[in-house]
Copies of this chain bind each other. A is one copy, B any other.
Amino acid sequence: MSDFIKACRGEPVERTPVWFMRQAGRSLPEYRRIRAGIPMLESCRRPELVCEITLQPVRRHGVDAAILFSDIVVPLVAAGVGVDIVAGTGPVVASPIRDLSGVAAVPPLAPEQVSYVDEAVRLLVKELGATPLIGFAGAPFTLASYLIEGGPSRHHEKTKALMYGQPATWHALCERLAGITSTFLGVQIRAGVSAVQLFDSWAGALSEADYRTYVLPHSKRIFESLVAAPSLRAGRSESLVAAPSLRAGRSESIEGVPSIHFGVGTAQLLTAMGDAGPDVVGVDWRTPLDAAAALVGGRPVQGNLDPCVLFAPWEVIEREVRRIVAEGKAAPGHIFNLGHGVMPETDPQVLTRVVELVHSL
């Protein structure tokens, strides 16, 4: 079993595993080259391209896990929601949701609508060998914010206005989104990913009380679906999950695929995010891992190097990496990562050096 999966399960590791959120992306010249002229959503629909982009950081940095190249809106677009990704802006929604009729217009996702993701994962599992592949999806709050605001938002004011003012509409929307996300993660799991990460990027905009009322039940339903979907339970075997050579044959064995839950600015939410039921809680750079470990109900943690530290001189980076690895020992498992995604201007050689350092400690 890889150190990454062991750490997700709180088992002893040989070396602290490390990967980087957005490791496949604009920080890499080979990524910018291969993506040139191909729109974001189009690139997510080409399995060979997804495979190549996903592999690039594994080859270059020697990270302990790959993360599927995709975008948080891919399952929405696949289901038929009118969303495009505009370079320099982010997702732009054709008809922002304002009421129950808007929610009714969000269709469910059929697994065959993301067959290109299934195909990409299967290609990747073959290519990656012993290196685990992490699947991913966006959580209901973050997806809802895009759909209600019509795009990225600083204050999420329309989202909160709907959440507070039309709670039935809000919950109906989140139920639909949780359904889409469960289906999307299910496709990835059946195709062979070794773990999944549920991103609730914007949940940090909420207080814990509001998170527990409006968000947690929906995110929890997703985590439960990963282990409890009756059609997928048969044949469960934990050992299958860990044996790379058997990955191709584990399409009926999703129980036991570790899950990670991550958001930014979640100092006030870490306990609640653990209560949503992931195996691992991702932590940004605002809460040290020893403090985080005490908040997340005995779960392993992932994080928490400030991506901005990568712009500092190496001595500073080394000091921070050493501190984080030491503080991570307070948790039953620690997966080294950034506290947010790699920023496009990051020097990729620095990332490689961080991997080497983490592995040496």
Q: What residues make up the interface of A, taking CB atoms closer than 8 Å to B? A: 155-158, 160-161, 164-165, 204, 206-209, 265, 267-268, 285-288, 306-309, 311-313, 316, 340, 343, 345
16 more contacts with CB within 8 A, not counting A161-B308, A207-B287, are: A155-B307, A156-B308, A157-B307, A158-B311, A160-B312, A164-B308, A164-B309, A164-B311, A164-B312, A165-B311, A165-B312, A165-B313, A207-B306, A265-B265, A267-B267, A267-B268
Q: Pick 6 A–B contacts, CB within 8 A, sort by A.
A: A155-B307, A155-B340, A161-B308, A161-B312, A164-B311, A268-B287
How many Å from the CB of A148 to the closest CB on chain B? 12
Copies in the assembly, this chain: 2
Instruction: Let me know if A160 and B308 touch, CB within 8 A.
Output: yes
Instruction: Let me know if A155 and B308 touch, CB within 8 A.
Output: yes
Partner of A268, one of B157, B286, B306, B345: B286
A268→B312 CA distance, assembly (Å): 23
Partner of A316, one of B156, B164, B288: B164
Instruction: Let me know if B268 and A311 touch, CB within 8 A.
Output: no
* For the complex of A and B, 7 pairs with smallest distance between CB atoms: A161-B311, A164-B312, A160-B308, A267-B268, A267-B267, A165-B312, A157-B308
Instruction: Let me know if A288 and B206 touch, CB within 8 A.
Output: no
A313→B161 CA distance, assembly (Å): 8
A341→B185 CA distance, assembly (Å): 39
Q: Which residues of B contact A312 (CB under 8 A)?
A: 160-161, 164-165
Partner of A157, one of B156, B158, B311: B311
Partner of A207, one of B208, B288, B313, B340: B288
How many Å from the CB of A119 to the closest CB on chain B? 35
Q: Which residues of B contact A157 (CB under 8 A)?
A: 307-308, 311, 343, 345
A227→B210 CA distance, assembly (Å): 39
Q: Which residues of B contact A156 (CB under 8 A)?
A: 308
A320→B195 CA distance, assembly (Å): 39
Instruction: Let me know if A160 and B207 touch, CB within 8 A.
Output: no
How many Å from the CB of A43 to the closest CB on chain B? 24
How many Å from the CB of A35 to the closest CB on chain B? 22
How many Å from the CB of A295 to the closest CB on chain B? 11
A156→B343 CA distance, assembly (Å): 12
Q: Which residues of B contact A306 (CB under 8 A)?
A: 160, 207
A287→B307 CA distance, assembly (Å): 25
- Name the CB-closest residue of B to A345: B157
A164→B160 CA distance, assembly (Å): 36
Q: Which residues of B contact A340 (CB under 8 A)?
A: 155
Known: A207-B288, A268-B287. A309 touches B155 (CB 8 A): no
How many Å from the CB of A141 to the closest CB on chain B? 14
Instruction: Let me know if A160 and B309 touch, CB within 8 A.
Output: yes
A360→B335 CA distance, assembly (Å): 52
Partner of A209, one of B209, B267, B288: B288
